[in-house]
Amino acid sequence: MSGVNAIVDQMRGQLQSVANIVRIRVLGANNERLDFLMDSFYKLSPPQRTAAFSGLIAVVGFFVFGAVILYFSQVSRLRSELNESFDALHEMQTLKTEYQNEQKHYDKLFEQISRKTGDLRPKPFFEKIANEQGVQIEGGLTETRVPLPPENPLSEKMQEVRVEMRLNNISIPRLLTFLVEVEKANNFVRVQDLEIKSRFGTRLYFDSKLKARAYSVSR
């Protein structure tokens, strides 16, 4: 409120300066115009003096009333603008705190993903699990890196890795075990799509096409 009072005092000083300028222009620098008016006033007859005096009071009252109304309206407007400014400042500080909290969450999330995917190499990763589970990857695997959607907050620092491979002549239990081990590795690798086709002449083994998704830190 001290800031408001200071501004109000400043406005009062400006109004006084304006009043002095008006006084000088109306009455003259040495009140010579006032002296002329007084002389003219005393030369009037009593009824004319009464009428002139009443008119003068009415004019002065009008200007005083207008000045008071103008003064308080300006002060009220100024206080309203200051209150709005303080509210906006408070809101900005609140938003800044919320942004800092969200930034901490984002940095923590990126650190977790980066720690678990930073050393991930899709081909050695899948080949290692396939060898451990006795699974044969037919024709190797294909790896494609694509940008994340712009609305994803990680799009500037990470990209998506899509992996495709074929696992032919494999039983359903062994295939399921392979998929479980892939997702259990805790490298944010997830099975995205799986196609299974039967093989001619057998009901125990199948041909499958697997699509998986992983993430990589942009270099």
The 10s digit of each residue's pLDDT in 164-193 is: 999 999 999 999 999 999 988 888 889 999
CA distance linking residue 135 with residue 210, whole number of Å: 13
pLDDT of res. 57: 76
Q: Which of 94, 112, 130 is the last residue of a domain?
A: 112
Same domain, 183 and 97: no
Cα–Cα distance, 142 to 120 (Å, whole number) = 15
Domain extent at residue 159: 122-217
Max CA separation in the chain (angstroms) = 135
Average pLDDT over residues 27-38: 62
In a domain, 104, yes or no: yes
Residues 6+ apart with CB under 8 A from 159: 145, 146, 147, 148, 215, 216, 218
User: According to the model, what pLDDT value does residue 180 have?
Assistant: 92
Percent of the chain with pLDDT over 90: 18
Nearest residue to 27 via CA among 93, 19, 95: 19
Query: What's the CATH code of the domain at 133?
Result: 3.30.70.60
In which element (H, E) is residue 197 found? strand 190-198
- The CA distance from 127 to 118, in Å, is 18
| Cα-Cα-Cα-Cα dihedral sign, residues 201, 135, 172, 193 | negative
Q: What sign does the CA torsion over 107, 112, 116, 117 have?
A: negative
Please name the residues in contact with 154: beta carbons below 8 A apart, sequence gap of 6 or more: 109, 110, 113, 148, 215
- Cβ neighbour number for residue 178 with a 10 Å cutoff: 22
pLDDT score at 86: 82
Residues 84 and 28 grouped into a single domain? yes
DSSP state of 186: S
Q: Does 202 score more than 90 pLDDT?
A: no
Check pLDDT > 80 for residue 3. no
Q: Which residue has the higher pLDDT, 88 or 163?
A: 163
Q: Is residue 197 part of a domain?
A: yes
Instruction: Determine the pLDDT at residue 63.
Output: 72
Crossing angle of helices 46-117 and 2-27, rounded to 10°? 150
Judgement on whether residues 89 and 48 belong to the same structural domain of the protein? yes
Range from 38-47, 63-72, 116-125, 192-201 carrying the lowest mean pLDDT:
38-47
Please indicate, yes or no, whether residues 100 and 58 belong to a single structural domain of this protein: yes
Residue type, 216: S
* Total tally of structural domains belonging to the chain: 2
CB atoms within 10 A of CB 176: 11
Candidate ranges 24-38, 106-120, 162-176; pick with highest mean pLDDT: 162-176
Are 9 and 60 within one domain?
yes
12 and 100 co-located in one domain: yes
Residue 117: inside a domain: no
DSSP class of residue 149?
Answer: P
Percent above pLDDT 70 for the chain: 76
